[in-house]
Structures are given as C-alpha cells and as structure tokens.
Amino acid sequence: MSAIFEILDKDAGGRIGRLRTPHGTVETPTVMPVINPNIQLIPPKEMRNFGAEILITNSYIIYRKEELKSVALEKGLHGLLGFDGPIMTDSGSFQLSVYGSVEVTNEEILGFQQKIGSDIIVPLDIPTPPDVHYRRAEEELAITAERLEAARKFIQGEQLLAGPVQGSTYPELREKAASHLKDLNFEVYPLGAVVPLMEAYRYAELVDVIAASKKGLSPASPVHLFGAGHPMMFALAVAMGCDLFDSAAYALYAKDGRYITVNGTYHIEKLNYLPCSCPVCSRYTAEELKKADNREELLGKHNLYATFAEIRLVKQCIKDGKLLELVEQRCRAHPKLLDGLKKLYTHSSWLEQLDPATKGTFFYCGPESSSRPEVLRFGKRLDRFSLQGSVIIRTGPVKGEKDYDQILTFKAPFGAFPVEMEEVYPFNAEVPKFPDYESLNSALSNTLKLIDLNPEAEFTFICEEEFKHPLIEEIRKRAKLVYRKDWKKE
C-alpha cells in the first residue's frame, strides 16, 4: 500500500481512501473544484461549505499574470487563494491542448509550482487528443515520458508529484504508459486528454481508456480523472477505480444558465420546478432563481451541492457493497452512458480480481447485471461442486425433493447451486420473478456446465414454463426436464 494513500473500503474497482498531502488528508473519492485565479464565482474559502476538501487551480495562469505571480511567490499559493487545505495545480497542459503551445518549459513550471507550495504538482505533459494517428500518439507519449522522468528527479520533497497517463484512445499505449510510470513511483496518476471523450459522450471509449490505464498501474495508486466534473458519470468512473475528479462544470454551466442533476443538465429557463432540496433550491422557486440578480452565483452553488451529494452517495454505496447497483441505475440516464456500462462489463474478468467476495445483497437491475463480476466468479468456480447420485434442480421447494441425494436451487443469473447456500452472498440475490433473456442465458449456461462437470450424477430439472430459451432444449438432452405445473402428475 502507498505511503500516502490508504485504502479503507472497496467495492468493484472503487474504493474509499485517504490521500495524505502537506496541507492535510483528503478522503476519496472526491471532487476538486477548479478555481480560476482571475474569476472566482465562489470564493475558495467557502468551498468547504459544499464538501470540498481539496481544490485545483492552474499554475500557468498564475505564472503568466504578474500580479498573481508576485502574490503567489510572496504569500504562497494558499495565501493567494485564501484556502488552507490541499491544492493541486495544473501545469498549462490544458492551454497546450487548446492553443498548441505555451510560454514556459517543463522545468520552469515545475519549479514555480514547487516554490508557491502546491500540494500536488503536475508536469507539463503532452495531452494527445483522441483519434490521432498511432504514430503521433506514440511520439508524443515518448516526449511526455521524458518530461515525467525529469520531473521525478526534480521534485523530491514532501510535495506530491502527479504522473499523467497519456496515449490517446489506444489502450495498449495507455497501459504501456501507466506501467512505465508505476516504476517511477509517482504519488498521483491523472488520466489525461479524456475531456474530448466526455464532451462527445464517448463513454464506452472512456471506459477502455480507464481500464487500460488502471491495468498498468498498481491497484494501490490514487487515480485522477482529469476534467471529469459531471455527477452523472461519477459512479461509473469510481467503479473503475478513479479516486479524484476536478470540476469546472459547476461554474461553466452556471454561466450558461445550466442546472446540474445526476440524471443530466437542465437549462434554468426551461425549468418550472427545482428537483432538488439543497439550500439554494429550498430557498428559491424556479421563477425566482431565473430572475435573481446573482443567478449565476446561485446556480454555481446548486451545481456544487449536487456534485458533492453524488460523491457522498457513491461513498455510501461503496460502504454498503452497492456501487454496481448505483452504476447500473445512473447509466440509464443517457444511452451513451449505457454504452459505457456495457463496455464496463467487458472488463468483468479484471473487475472480478478487485471486487470483494463478500457483500450484503446482490440486486438485479437489468440485463447488464448478468455480466457482473459476481456472476462471472460463480461460473469460474463451478468445478468446486462435486455431485453424485440423484440431483434435483428446482426454482423453489417442490414435493418429493427430499427423495433425491442432493437438492440444488436454480436462480438466474447464477444458475444451480446447493440449497444450503441460498442465504449466502451472492445467492441471496434479489431478482425478478420472470428472468430476462440475458439472465436466463447466463444461468442456463452455468447449469449446463455444472451438469457436464458431474457426469456420474443423474439430474432432474424442475423448470418454470415461463423460461423461454433455446438452452432449455440443451438441458433436456442431459437431464430429465419437467415443467413445474406437470411435476408429480406423471
């Protein structure tokens, strides 16, 4: 485990952790509100009122503006912003991605961040955008690697150093970059140049980028998803192992008259009601908020309240072992997020290695639940069951079952398992009475595998008539299959 990052609780790839910095310990997952040194919609000293423990600002903006630079060098970064907690500083890479160049070197901006007392220092990496040619991504990644190696030698004090993971939309480059940085022992690992993916709702590709980067890093390393500030995707990103987010959305959206919720964003002019009970929404009606002289400030505050409310819910779900249920609910807010959810479960084999083996209760939320790590884990362990003699498989108690040598319960999406395990996680699952196709497919496939693994046993499967699936006929070839309505009528 990292000396600066302690993991307290885990669920799926998500975790609750403690990140130690020179200006205090931060509990993750959390959001770092972005502070523009020139324009502060909400003063940094008020950020704790919303739940912020750490902020992020841009050292390049401070470096380039003489009046800000002089104050920062004299009073320090925390004095400049009026915030006594941890502050992370970006290096100017964002400006580099937008304008193509910056008027500072890697060494200059590293030294400046160090002098003004940044808690987490970011080198001047090359943020390679999505969809570029592989050769360009590879060449820019090599430049970034050189700069990060130089930064690691340069920063050796108590300040934390971030090692951004680049590689565009090429998973193999992301994993290669992450693996290289892991050996250099950075304290925080931001995943860079992902904002264009989020802006275009390319969540499936974002999932692949995160997964590839995480696979190259140590599981104990804190990961920052750069530019991820909308609460609708926090649960998904946390489930993949992201610990830190930064949000300028609260202010940018407020300026544009937009109102953030976990299910998407509304234009305030189109709202008749405020679907929130934060201090702003409890005090104002929709009409009053539209006409308020300080509307932008009030919207910014609401957006922050909504942002941190979701972070707290994500943390509670990790505590309760319910994170994947929250992910599946949130990803139904937008079709592109649903693409992200489906892509997430293509990485179930990797997630299964991180996911705790014991939790509370498995809740089936939809077809995607059939691909959860718990279901995959069960399928991989079917060879642990040794069955002999007469075996009955049923969905619920039936007459005469005690005449059989062994009794198995059938529950989708898992399949057949010993009746003695019905109250054990995950077989205590809450599932629909009528399984969907995907759930039945998983359960019947596992049942067929179990039958094939135990050729000496004689199986009887008491099947529900509602189970409409081609694999039913495959089971009929290997076992005696009787519909429940016909049981004991023979």
Residue 357, exposed/middle/buried by CB under 10 A (0-12, 13-18, 19+)?
Answer: exposed
DSSP 8-state symbol, 156: -
Does residue 409 contact residue 417 with C-beta atoms inside 8 Å? Answer: yes
Closest among 211, 240, 189 to 2, alpha carbons compared: 189
CA atoms within 13 A on the CB side of 255: 9
The answer to whether 304 and 230 have CB atoms below 8 angstroms apart is no
Of the residues 90, 243, 246, 355, only one is catalytic, namely 90
Nearest to 179 by CA among 156, 135, 145: 145
Rounded CA-CA distance 465/483 in Å is 6
Catalytic annotation on 9?
no
Q: Is 272 in contact with 45 (CB distance < 8 Å)?
A: no
Rounded to whole angstroms, what are the CA distances from 413 to 273, 391, 417, 433, 434?
40, 20, 12, 12, 11
What number of residues does the chain have? Answer: 490
**What residue type is 30 in one-letter code?**
T
Side-chain half-sphere CA neighbours of 136 within 13 A:
10
By CB atoms closer than 10 A (0-12, 13-18, 19+), residue 207 is buried
Could you tell me the maximum CA-CA distance found in the chain, to the nearest angstrom?
92
Laid out side by side, the sheet with 480-483 consists of: 415-418, 406-411, 390-394, 458-463, 480-483
Catalytic residues: 90
